[in-house]
Amino acid sequence: MKLSLRAALAGLAAAGVALGVAEIVAVLTGPLSSPLFAVGGVVVDNVPAPVKDAGIAVFGTHDKTALLTGTAILLAGYAAVLGVLALRSRLVAPAGIALFAVIGVAAALTRNDAGPTAALPTLAGAVAAYLALRYLLRVALAEEGSDPEVVHPSVYREGGRRRFLIGLGTAAGVAAVGGVGGRLLTSRRAVTAARAAVVLPPAPPAVPVPVGAQVDGAAAYVTSNADFYQIDTALYPPQIDPSTWELRIHGMVRNPITITWEQLLRRPMVQRYVTLACVSNEVGGDLIGNALWLGTPIKDLLDEAQPLPGADQVVQRSSDGWTCGSPTAVLRDGRDALLAVGMNGEPLPVRHGFPVRMVVPGLYGYVSACKWITEIELTRFADFDAYWVPRGWSALGPIKTESRIDTPRDGAERKAGPVTVAGVAWAQHRGITKVEVQVDNGPWAPATLAPVVSADTWVQWSYAWQATAGEHTLRVRATDKDGQTQTSSPAAPAPDGATGWHSVQVTVG
């Protein structure tokens, strides 16, 4: 094994030790103080919007996993090069590891509500990395007593090989035990037990899902918690103990309010089916879902706070510092905008905002669906831009009228004869009055609409197609209750939602 290869492996092992030790320390200082998560969070906050949009388009709900994996790969490359360069000078190793520490500490300290202890995981990891790299490089050199930090043209002994491999194995063990053990310990310190102990407050039953709302071949009318899309900026879901949770309503109000978890649960609760959609959803995409939400009307809380004239924006802040802004008038116009505590009959899943989140029918999530909410500030759009607005997205974010073909899938093959075409359409808080299907460039034909709970959910539709042999293009469009038919003009999700007709190619034999 060449000396340069041994040095590169030593660098990789040292990086693994750094991350493993950092994860263990982060059990005490918080998961976001881990250098991998801290640096990833900085990347999420500062990457150009087109890059972020491309990541969501390519990886969908796995965008954060892809980011963390990419960050780890870059760190591995850096560590391998550092190991090789450390053979040339005794100053390279401490300087390179110090650079890692500076970046990790700076990233950790910039996280929302980070204190001085947020620097500890990176510092501990850096010290461990330096000791591991120094030892492995010493063992990697052939002759005992030689300077281990300067290239030495000695012969590599078999005993040295064993010691080096044992050292690599030990480093890998520290990395694995620290990384996996740290995550497991963090999970044990998380809110899993607190969530399991939550007893949801009583509420009148929701309007039942009507018979026939589910169409064969279309997505489930009610999306399960496990399948509900997740798009947010949190690399690790905030862990909030309900017993310590508070919501502060302040800003341009006559009566500032602070409400605790127990006080929230004593408020009148309602259950509503509401379909939520992400503005990043491409035409025909799956970043949309329908669930039964349990919560208290946000309008009542805002009325108690008494917004001042001119307070046209309700800024919501998450515990991790993320913000979104909803039009005040929308949250007070009578729609079922909720401060939600339950989802599909159980407490909110942690990844979906436990213990409390916002749910607003008719607005894209980036301007309304604040998870892990801890603060509401009444202000003006002219005075404050929420998280996504400076990144080029629209400030208002009303949901557009859209539709999707779920069956047959693009590229599907069917036999000639009757073929059921089915899918979903949505225009939350306005509702859908018509869905039409076009085969090739023929006339638009009306589809059959299934019944729905309310205008705040998507509607399923079906169309009986007499398929003939050949290659065919199927298109769909919807019309809402305002008489607005979705446009054929294609547009990307930025800045206020994608447009165009969803189409699929089908081969009929």
Residue 88 has a CB neighbour count (10 Å cut-off) of: 12
What gap in Å lies between CA 258 and CA 374, rounded to an integer? 10
Query: 242-391 in CATH: which number?
Result: 3.90.420.10
Tell me what pLDDT residue 274 has.
Answer: 98
Residue 226 dihedral angles phi and psi, to the nearest 5°:
-70, -35
Distance CA 57, CA 54 (A): 5
Two tokens at 104?
């990790």
387: its two tokens:
């998280």
Of all residues in the chain, the percent with pLDDT exceeding 70 is: 92
- 397 φ, ψ (degrees, to nearest 5): 65, 40
Whether residue 157 has pLDDT greater than 50: no
Amino acid 183: pLDDT: 65
> Roughly how many angstroms between the first and final C-alpha of the chain, as a whole number?
59
Class (C level, CATH) for 402-508: mainly beta
Banded model confidence at residue 149, pLDDT cuts 50, 70, 90? very low
pLDDT class of 352 with cuts at 50, 70, 90: very high
pTM of this structure: 0.80
> Residue 187: is its pLDDT beyond 80?
no
Joined together, the tokens standing for residue 47 give 């990457």
Domain residue ranges of the chain, discontinuous segments joined by +: 3-189, 242-391, 402-508
The distance of Cα 463 from the centroid of its chain, to the nearest Å, equals 34
Across residues 147-169, what is the average pLDDT? 59
Please name the amino acid found at residue 105: V
Mark 455-482 as b/e (b = at least 16 C-beta within 10 Å): bbbbbbbbbebebeeeebebbbbbbbee
Average per-residue pLDDT for the chain: 90
In the chain, % helix, strand, coil (3-state, to 5) comes to 35, 25, 40
Gyration radius (Cα) of the chain, Å: 28
Q: Residue 172: is its pLDDT beyond 60?
A: yes
